[in-house]
Structure 1
Amino acid sequence: METTVISTQPVPLHPGLPFLGNTLAFLRNPLGTLHTLQQNHARMVHLRIGGRNQYLVLKPEDAKHVLQENNRNYGRSPAFEVLKIFLGNGLLTSDGDFWRRQRRLAQPAFHRQKLAALTQTMIAESADWIDELKGHNPKEPVNVSQAFMDVTMRIVCKTLFGSDTTGKLDGLSTALDTLNYLANKRMLSPLKFPYAWPTPNNLRSKRARMQVDTFIYGLIEQRRKASEERDDLLGMLLSAEDEETGEGMSDQQLRDECVTIFSAGHETTAVSMAWTIHLLTNHPDVLARLKAESHSVLGDARTPAPEVFRGLTYTLQVVQESLRLYPPAWIMSRKAFNDDHIGFYTIPAGDTALVCPYLLHRDPANWPDPGRFDPDRFAPGGPKDSLHPYAYLPFGGGPRLCIGNQFALMEMQILLALFVRQFDLKAVPHQRIFPKPLITLRPNQSIWVTLN
């Protein structure tokens, strides 16, 4: 009986410091370090970060192998343990059979026909937000980073919880923002005290989490006692049953999914919208074309019908190109359960594979002049259609593709079209904006524009 021998060679090791490896380089300038790796290595590079062996894959076909073709060999990396403290064991942080069951239960709530019922809520909340902005003094600049945080919070609360949250959002939003801030801080800190220790940040985190839990568990209890079914996302999750067992979600599972949906649907969309406005104010030709489409397709209606937004083809291209340049989920890490072979290279069991959408989206082999903002890359029949599917993955890929990707794309199109239809935008001079890679890829500072 013949034995198949897999020929392997060492993955090129990127030089680093004794004992520290590449840790300091990533702490000081993660995106610059990643660009250097892309320029100096062809397919894969071995890094030492935080005392762990990590293997950065640089080609779309290898990203597909890790995220899709051999996805069952990979689980969440140790980095996700930080998020699990704050988010619980929801779809973003869970693994294995538990994750697969949760995905089966949650998926129906995000089907296109279900999302269509939520689109009217997005439009109504966006229109109310536009009306409020109309009252702003046009001589005073607007912090669009905060403005989009506000409106995406309103949208996700109404679509997730419905009208039950009226007048109760401020405390929940503040607590979740606190948890997000502390998660970012803990993720970046080289020294992590155990969560059980009574450090100031741990105590602050526990108070914020208790506030979130009190609100969400109270809402779940209230909904379970009510007889009528609701069309918001919480109502859909409450009524979901596993096809194999007939069981629904426990209160703990519902809480974790609600917090995950709220955090992902709130912050990532707001950050992406801020980046989009930043790009548009620096590319007036694109902004003019976008504005013309919004007037042509939407007309003058305050709240256009949901089906009208399907005609916003160029708006979608602008959103897609913005997500190419600044993908919120800028890097993904996966821990290998068993040795995995990619070409002549091996990722050993227990080590981590890194997939970096930020790099894949800026690879000049696939995206000529990759730093240029050009929404026509995504025109029907355009350059994007001829690329490997994993050359562009702002929402991840494989079975763990973001469950809310269609929700986010629709929300961004609605917000963007209504916003540029109403206002003439101009950047505040002398802002030095660059990406700051935290858990999501945020701008280094708030983005300010004038609205007329």
Structure 2
Amino acid sequence: METTASAPLTVPLVPGLPLIGNTLAFFRDPLSTLQTLQRQQNRMVHLRIGGRHQYLVFSPEDSKHILQENHRNYGRSPAFQVLKIFLGNGLLTSEGDFWRRQRRLAQPAFHRQKLAALAQTMITETANWIDELKQSNRTQPVNVSQAFMDVTMRIVCKTLFGSDVAAQLSGLSSALDTLNYMANERLVSPLRLPLHWPTPGNLRFRRASTQVDSFIYGLINQRRKNGNADQGDDLLGMLISIEDEEMGDWPGSGRMSDQQLRDECVTLFAAGHETTAVSMAWTLHLLTQHPDVVAQLRAESQSVLGDAKIPSADAFRALPYALQVVQESLRLYPPAWIMSRLALGDDPIGSYTIPAGATALVCPYLLHRDPTNWPDPERFDPDRFAPGGIKEQLHPYAYLPFGGGPRLCIGNQFALMEMQILLAMMVRNFDFQPVPSQRISPKPLITLRPNKPIQVVLA
């Protein structure tokens, strides 16, 4: 990639309003605003959003430079300070040596062999959930946005904590939703009142945080009482048992403290069910418009899985088309639709420079819909990901559903496996029919949600 020691050219500044710059246009319709900028075919542009200077890059090459090749020059942007309020100092929000230590400790829990042991739990929970769906009124549309929140919550609780939380499901889901929406409000609001002020919003935030913390600390305390010999095969047990021998001088002799465990669990708990649920709802929305894809999915699923209510985990390795459907859905609707990084020092990129203190923006939503890389990018076509398909010909950073570089999402394989299982088992039991009056469009919050709950008739 072309880089120079000096930067004689000024990054094109996007015209905006006095004082507020591009803030109003961005927050009114960020996706359309970004796509308009992409069509202008600049290498990067300079935006002024929320009182900050932000530099948006468009190419896979420059995205790789920021996320991987020069990642040590980029820290977590101010946006992550908002997420820290309820996620704490987990893998998503921490940085530096602390992040590297936590990543090293957590990584073994996400090795393929460990995930394979969790697959059967996913399959069993999915089968039980499908039985419940079958007993519902099949003539009425199902709110699949909420339905997937429910089942992914069950799955993440069983795989993360080894716990059945059916009785607490509604409350936990509501609490996490409250935290998500309030974090997004603080992210976009120019006025952020201190959290200790007793405003109605702050009080809701405290109640939701207390509910989630009480649940997670309760599970951690119970495991501590059990002793290290009886931690189980779920992710919490793995995280408690793991010890970093290279970091024995850290508090806890190289093990995670209760606070660290809490932060990692809240991060996995929140991200692990919400992003998968949203992605699955988008997938069913796409399938209602493509019965030919549903037919091919069903043929593959029935051929491989047969009629077994609870198939073996090994069978899901032979479902390549289901994985292609998931990958194409993530291309069109990546949950992490934009990523921000704080430039710690000046960073020359070609003839431009991202200055120290500015925010660099990498946008998977734009990368995934760039017509120079993806022909007819708005079309849903799982064959893009088939062997020999267009994906194999592209720059690796043209497709970033889970980020890239050292901070690639640690749960990416967990999420792909879960989505593949949910999709393959659902298509054996239901047909997916649209609700004609429904008008769905993406709503870019912290994750790329639909503008309203997605309704689908499960025939």
In 1: Cα distance, 2:384 partner to 2:261 partner? 39
Q: Who is 1:338 aligned against?
A: 345
In 2: Cα distance, 1:24 partner to 1:445 partner? 22
Q: What are the Cα deviations for residues 70-122 of structure 1, in whole angstroms up to 9, with x where unaligned?
A: 00110110011111001111001111111111101110000000001100000
In 2: Cα distance, 1:110 partner to 1:409 partner? 13
Q: Who is 1:236 aligned against?
A: 238
**Cα distance 1:445–1:170, how it changes in 2: closer, same or farther (>3 A)?**
closer
Q: Who is 1:392 aligned against?
A: 399
Q: Who is 1:113 aligned against?
A: 113
Structure 1 residues not aligned, in runs of 5+: none
**Cα distance 1:192–1:160, how it changes in 2: closer, same or farther (>3 A)?**
same
Residue 11 (1) aligns with residue 11 (2)? yes
Q: Retained in 1: the 8 A contact 2:402–2:412?
A: yes
Q: Retained in 1: the 8 A contact 2:161–2:234?
A: yes
Q: Who is 1:171 aligned against?
A: 171
Give 3-state SS (helix, strand or coil) of 1:204's partner. helix
Q: Retained in 1: the 8 A contact 2:343–2:354?
A: yes
| Deviant stretches of 4+, over 6 Å | none
Q: Who is 2:143 aligned against?
A: 143
User: Which residues of 2 match residues 83-162 of structure 1 at below 5 A?
Assistant: 83-162=83-162
In 2: Cα distance, 1:195 partner to 1:350 partner? 26
Q: Who is 1:20 aligned against?
A: 20
Percent pairwise identity = 76
Give 3-state SS (helix, strand or coil) of 2:353's partner. strand
CA displacement at 1:165 relative to structure 2: 4.1
Task: Name the Cα RMSD after superposition.
Answer: 1.2
2:383 to 346, 368, 376: 376
Q: Retained in 1: the 8 A contact 2:154–2:165?
A: no
User: Which residues of 2 match residues 280-359 of structure 1 at below 5 A?
Assistant: 280-359=287-366
1:422 to 417, 429, 438: 429
Moved more, 201-210 or 102-111: 201-210
Normalised TM-score (structure 1): 0.97
CA displacement at 1:232 relative to structure 2: 0.4
User: Which residues of 2 match residues 263-278 of structure 1 at below 5 A?
Assistant: 263-278=270-285
Q: Who is 2:370 aligned against?
A: 363
Q: What are the Cα deviations for residues 134-185 of structure 1, in whole angstroms up to 9, with x where unaligned?
A: 1012211111111111100000000011036463444333322221121122
Residue 80 (1) aligns with residue 100 (2)? no
In 2: Cα distance, 1:384 partner to 1:81 partner? 35
Q: Which amino acid aligns with 1:153?
A: M
Q: What are the Cα deviations for residues 240-271 of structure 1, in whole angstroms up to 9, with x where unaligned?
A: 11131231001000000000001111100000
Q: Retained in 1: the 8 A contact 2:79–2:187?
A: yes
Q: Which amino acid aligns with 1:92?
A: L
In 2: Cα distance, 1:435 partner to 1:165 partner? 30
In 1: Cα distance, 2:5 partner to 2:125 partner? 60
Residue 448 (1) aligns with residue 455 (2)? yes
In 2: Cα distance, 1:7 partner to 1:68 partner? 21
In 2: Cα distance, 1:6 partner to 1:120 partner? 55
CA displacement at 1:275 relative to structure 2: 0.3
Q: Retained in 1: the 8 A contact 2:11–2:46?
A: yes
Give 3-state SS (helix, strand or coil) of 1:167's partner. helix
Q: What are the Cα deviations for residues 405-426 of structure 1, in whole angstroms up to 9, with x where unaligned?
A: 0000000000001001101111
Q: Retained in 1: the 8 A contact 2:327–2:385?
A: yes
Give 3-state SS (helix, strand or coil) of 2:311's partner. coil
Q: Which amino acid aligns with 1:237?
A: L
Q: Which amino acid aligns with 2:298?
A: K
The total of aligned residue pairs comes to 449
Q: Retained in 1: the 8 A contact 2:280–2:419?
A: yes
In 2: Cα distance, 1:426 partner to 1:168 partner? 31
Moved more, 6-15 or 434-443: 6-15
Structure 2 residues not aligned, in runs of 5+: 249-253
Give 3-state SS (helix, strand or coil) of 2:245's partner. coil
Q: What are the Cα deviations for residues 287-310 of structure 1, in whole angstroms up to 9, with x where unaligned?
A: 111111111111100011101001
Q: What are the Cα deviations for residues 23-56 of structure 1, in whole angstroms up to 9, with x where unaligned?
A: 0001110000000110113210000001110000
User: Which residues of 2 match residues 30-45 of structure 1 at below 5 A?
Assistant: 30-45=30-45
In 1: Cα distance, 2:381 partner to 2:449 partner? 21
Q: What are the Cα deviations for residues 360-418 of structure 1, in whole angstroms up to 9, with x where unaligned?
A: 00000000110000000000121100100000010000000000000000000000010
Moved more, 321-330 or 202-211: 202-211
Normalised TM-score (structure 2): 0.96
Moved more, 439-448 or 213-222: 213-222
